[in-house]
Chain A
Amino acid sequence: MVYDPFKHASSDRTLSAPPSAFDYMKDKVFRSFAYCCALAIILLVTYIVFELGSQALPAIKTYGLGFVTGTTWDANQREFGVLPEIWGTLYSSLIALAIGGVLGVGIAIFLTQSFVHAKLELVFRTIIELLAAIPSVVYGLWGIYVLIPLLRPVAQWFYETLGWFPFFGTELSGPGLAPASLVLAIMILPTVAAISADAFQRIPYKVKEAAYGMGATKWEVILKVMLPTASSGILAGLVLGFGRALGETMALAMLIGNVNNISLSLFAPANTLASLLASTFPEAGEIEVQALMYAALVLLAITFIVNIAGLAVQQYAMRKFEGKK
């Protein structure tokens, strides 16, 4: 029974009554369930890591660290190495980060430093958010039928005039690093823009006021005061955008060419860990699946490190503005 020593003692008028035993039971059940759900997230992540690890274990035992440095992927010869994929993953993501980063930060400045009327600002903000909403496969399709035909003459020109330069060392025959990285850049741009814009908005107005008060022009304020102040937030946006690029799958599987190849050339086909999984997994036999699980684990490790770095920087940036130590 519910313990209520007050009912009889208090005035007759009072309508107060203790929660019923049923209320108490509901409270207990509800809270335990919520606790379990919070716990479930931890268990889920642990289980994912554990499951991938144990599935990959046979391949880890067989190939060891040679898997990470090997350059061939041949299921018939049972020879598996993912160095080209690691290279392709990092290279394409870095190019995407360079392009998407500059554009993203530029847009964050454009959206937060009152360049346009608030209504137009909202229009551009919406455009950027919609850019993030478009599914990856649709970008892939767009890349195949719009971007690649558009890039081909440009790539040809670069190859013919600057072919001695390693970045332009091959022709763009179709899919390749350049279209893949460009689409990747478009896809991470909203992430970078959103987190950077947030960092700019966190800067107290008085900081800007102080700079204007000293006679700085708008861009002097932006470049010398706002940008450095927001730098840690922007860095977090860049790192998280990079993490997103590393794991992006479909658009890359459709655009990068899926060729085991380590090349500096922007126009050469390549492969990434995620698109290796996407293109090989459905038809893989048992041994190859084990190797693919190992590849998934490598991808997991890379994104895990990058994401944690990003979150740590973000945490640091937020603390800086909130004045916590």
Chain B
Amino acid sequence: MTSLSDTGEFIAKKYEPKGPVVLDCQINNIYYGNFRAVRDSHVPIEKNKVTGFIGPSGCGKSTVLRSMNRMNDLIESFRFDGSIQYHSNDIYGKKVDPVVVRRYIGMVFQLPNPFSMSIYDNVAFGLRLNGFKGDEEEMVVQALKRAAIWDDVKDKLKNSGLSLSGGQQQRLCIARAIATEPDVLLMDEPCSALDPIATRQVEELMVELKEHYSVALVTHNMQQATRVADVTAFLGVDISQGGRTGYLVEMDDTQKIFEDPQQLLTQQYVRGEFS
């Protein structure tokens, strides 16, 4: 095993994807002002797989995820150095509008965030936004079914999305995100505010979703990663240069990461020696 005493120059071994890659993230540096949040991480997101991101708090896994649909552009001091290839087009290309990127790459957030409108309108929101011309109702029903919430809401589509329970709200948000059939779905700790039963339901949902979508999942729950993710990226925190800079330590098939990690740090983390 490689010694990690000097992580300053450490660069993870390149992960060789086994299938087609949908989003090829080559992150050199991410800065917030002068603060270097993430460095040297190459994480390819594979098609029809769930790619999990684990790591101690503050390792920048959410930052990495939010860079993938340029959500971070909303923060003024954010600076991205690297490239994210989406079908061989760099989403950070000079001519690319972040708004367009976000239309193709959907996101589900940490806290359920339905709009204060009806359940139906919540799901139809994206369709209307993208100028969908077909049968709106059919697409809404399909999205709700696929998000495994149809049975809960079919009799109250006119009720406010905010009237649902936390778990239902999160599944509604997933339905909203997949209604426009985005290629990639980014999920930022989608279960952190949910109770165990709701968490289970959402996890099962994620496994089903990968048939249609490619999913990138940030989680602080290692069990969740083992249950859901096909590939797992472990990010560590480098404090050698004063700040807390996140970087990729190891990325491999989930089973490999948890049972036979190549890095001491990964081993310590998956054993629960630090968090």
Q: Does chain A touch chain B in the assembled complex, meaning CB atoms less than 8 Å apart?
A: yes
Residues of A within 8 A of B (CB): 2-6, 9-11, 13-20
Chain B residue at minimum C-beta to C-beta distance from A17:
B130
Chain A residue at minimum C-beta to C-beta distance from B129:
A19
B103 at the interface (CB under 8 A from A): yes
Residues of chain B within 8 A of A13, CB atoms compared: 181, 212
Could you tell me if A16 and B131 are in contact, using CB atoms closer than 8 angstroms? no
Residues of B within 8 A of A (CB): 86-89, 93, 95-97, 99-101, 103-104, 126-127, 130-132, 139, 179-183, 212
Give the top 9 A-B pairs by smallest Cβ distance, nearest first. Answer: A9-B87, A5-B89, A18-B100, A16-B103, A15-B180, A17-B130, A14-B181, A16-B104, A10-B183
The one of A3, A15, A17 in contact with B95, judged by C-beta atoms closer than 8 angstroms, is A3
Could you tell me if A15 and B132 are in contact, using CB atoms closer than 8 angstroms? yes
The one of A4, A11, A14 in contact with B100, judged by C-beta atoms closer than 8 angstroms, is A4
Chain B residue at minimum C-beta to C-beta distance from A10:
B183
Residues of chain B within 8 A of A9, CB atoms compared: 86-89
Q: List 10 A-B contacts (CB under 8 A).
A: A3-B96, A5-B96, A6-B86, A6-B100, A10-B183, A11-B181, A14-B183, A15-B180, A16-B182, A19-B99
Chain A residue at minimum C-beta to C-beta distance from B89:
A5
Q: A3-B96, A3-B97, A5-B93 are in contact. Are A16 and B181 (CB under 8 A)?
A: yes
Chain B residue at minimum C-beta to C-beta distance from A20:
B131
Chain B residue at minimum C-beta to C-beta distance from A13:
B181
Assembly CA distance A19 to B101 (angstroms):
11
Could you tell me if A15 and B104 are in contact, using CB atoms closer than 8 angstroms? no
Residues of chain B within 8 A of A16, CB atoms compared: 103-104, 130, 180-183
Nearest CB in chain A: distance from B113 CB, A: 20
Could you tell me if B130 and A6 are in contact, using CB atoms closer than 8 angstroms? no
Assembly CA distance A5 to B89 (angstroms):
7
Nearest CB in chain A: distance from B73 CB, A: 15
Residues of chain A within 8 A of B179, CB atoms compared: 15
- Specify which of A5, A10, A15, A19 lies most central, judged by the most chain B CB atoms within 10 Å of its CB: A15
Nearest CB in chain A: distance from B216 CB, A: 16
In addition to A9-B87, A14-B104, A20-B131, 10 A-B residue pairs with Cβ atoms within 8 Å of each other are A3-B95, A10-B87, A10-B104, A13-B212, A14-B182, A14-B183, A15-B126, A15-B132, A18-B99, A19-B103
Residues of chain A within 8 A of B86, CB atoms compared: 6, 9-10
- Specify which of B99, B103, B127, B131 lies most central, judged by the most chain A CB atoms within 10 Å of its CB: B103
